[in-house]
Amino acid sequence: MKIIFGVLVLLAVIVVMPLFTFRAPKGQRAMSALSNAACATFLPQAFLSYAIGGVFHIDFVKQIGDTMGSMGGLAVGALVPLAFGISPVFAVLLGVSLLKFKLLTAFVAAYLVSFLVKEIQKRFPDGVNLIIIVLVGPILVNLIAAVTSPGIMAVLHLIGNTIVSAETGNPLVMGAVLGAIIPLVGMTPLSSMVLTSLISLVGVPMAVGALACTGSSLLNFSFFRKMKFGDRATTLAVTIEPLTQIDIISTNPVPIFTTNAIAGAINGMVITALGLVVNVTGMATPWAGLIVVFGMNPLTKVLLAVGIILINSTLWAYIGSWAFRKFKIHTVAEIRAKDALARDKTDKTVKV
C-alpha cells in the first residue's frame, strides 16, 4: 500500500509540473531557471565528486564536486530572478541569501519574492530600490524557504520511502519499481540525484537507478527524434542530460513519462537479475552513473546489461512513438514562440 501511495504522490508531482509551466505567471521562465540551476550544481557534482573523484580517488576533484553540489539554493536563487528580468545585483543578492537551502525550497522562495523585487526595481529610483531590497529580500526569501521546506522534504521522503519499501520486498519488483520511478524523477525538478542522495541509496538499488537513467537517455534519443519534439540539438541535449530540456518534458508528460516508465521497469528487472551494484549514493544520472557502474562491477556483466538496456530502450522508443503518433504534443518551437511573446509583452509594459 505504501508503494502505491508513494507512486501516486510522484504522479501528482508530475501532473503539477505542466500546470505550473503553462498556468503560473512566468512559469516557463522559472522552470527553465530551475533546470539550469540543477545542471550547474548537481550534474558537476555527479561527474566530479563521484564519477572522477570517487572512482579514481582524486580528493581534490571530489571536493570541488561536493562544493558545487551544495550550491543548489544559491544557483536557483539567482537564476530565477534573472529569468524575471531583475537586475543581476538583486538576483545574486537573493541567491546568496538562499545558500543554506535545498534546490526546490530555494526555488519556491525565489519565485515568490521575485515578483515583489521586480515591482520594487520598477517603482523606486536606483539606490533607493537597492536599500529596500537589501532590507526586505533576504528576510522574505529565508522566511518563505523555512516555512515551505518541511512540506517539500516530506514529499521527497515519501517518494524515497516508497523506494525503500520496494527494496525490502521481492527483488524483481523492487527493480521494476525503481527502474520506472527514478528516471521519471530525473526528468522532474525533484532530481533523481537529489532523491537517491537524500535516502542514501546504495548497492543494487543504486545500480538500478544509475543504469535506468542511462536507459532513459538512450530511449529519449530515439523517442524525441521520432516524435519531433525539437531539432537535433534538443535530441542531443535530452540524451546527455534530461534536466536541460525540462520545459519540453514538462509540457509533454503523458507520452514521455509513460514510455520511459514501461521501458525503465524492464531495465530495472534486468539490472537486478544481473546483480550489479553501486556503492556510492547520488549516482542516478545517465552518464556519470554509467562510469561508476563500470568501475564497481565485472566488465562482462556491465556490457551485457548495457546491451540489453540499449535494445529494450530503443525498442520502446519506437513502440511509444507509434502509440502516441496521433497524440497532441508541444514542440520546442511552440514553447520558444510563447516565451518570446511573453518577453515582448513584458518589454512593452516596462517601456510604458
pLDDT tens over the chain, length 352 residues: 666 776 777 677 767 776 787 788 988 788 878 878 877 887 788 788 877 887 678 889 989 988 998 898 999 999 999 999 999 999 999 999 999 998 889 999 999 999 999 999 999 998 899 999 999 999 999 999 999 999 888 887 777 677 667 666 678 888 998 899 889 888 876 677 767 766 667 889 899 999 999 999 999 999 999 999 988 999 999 998 887 888 888 889 899 999 999 999 999 999 999 999 998 777 888 888 898 899 889 999 999 999 999 999 999 999 999 999 999 888 888 877 776 666 655 555 444 4
SS (H, E, C) the chain: CHHHHHHHHHHHHHHHHHHHHHHCCCHHHHHHHHHHHHHHHHHHHHHHHHHHCCCCCCHHHHHHHHHHHCCHHHHHHHHHHHHCCCCHHHHHHHHHHCCCCCHHHHHHHHHHHHHHHHHHHHHCCCCHHHHHHHHHHHHHHHHHHHHHHHHHHHHHHHHHHHHHHHHCCCHHHHHHHHHHHHHHHHCCCCCHHHHHHHCCCCEHHHHHHHHHHHHHHHHHHHHHHHHCCCCHHHHHHHHHCHHHHHHHHHHCHHHHHHHHHHHHHHHHHHHHHHCCCECCCCCCCHHHHHHHHHHHCCHHHHHHHHHHHHHHHHHHHHHHHHHCCCCCCCCHHHHHHHHHHHHHHHHHHHHC
Choose among 254, 259, 256: nearest CA to 245: 256
Choose among 39, 47, 110, 45: nearest CA to 74: 110
The cell for 132 is: 529596500
Block residue for cell numbers 516565451: 339
Q: What is the pLDDT of residue 251?
A: 86
Q: Which domain holds residue 102?
A: 2-351
Q: In total, how many domains does the chain have?
A: 1
Residues sharing a CB contact under 8 Å with residue 241, sequence separation 6 or more, in sequence order: 39, 43, 285, 286
Choose among 312, 273, 269, 267: nearest CA to 290: 267
The cell for 159 is: 517518494
Rounded Cα distance, 344 and 309, in Å: 45
The cell for 57 is: 580517488
Helix axes 286-296, 299-323, angle to 10 degrees: 150
The cell for 98 is: 538562499
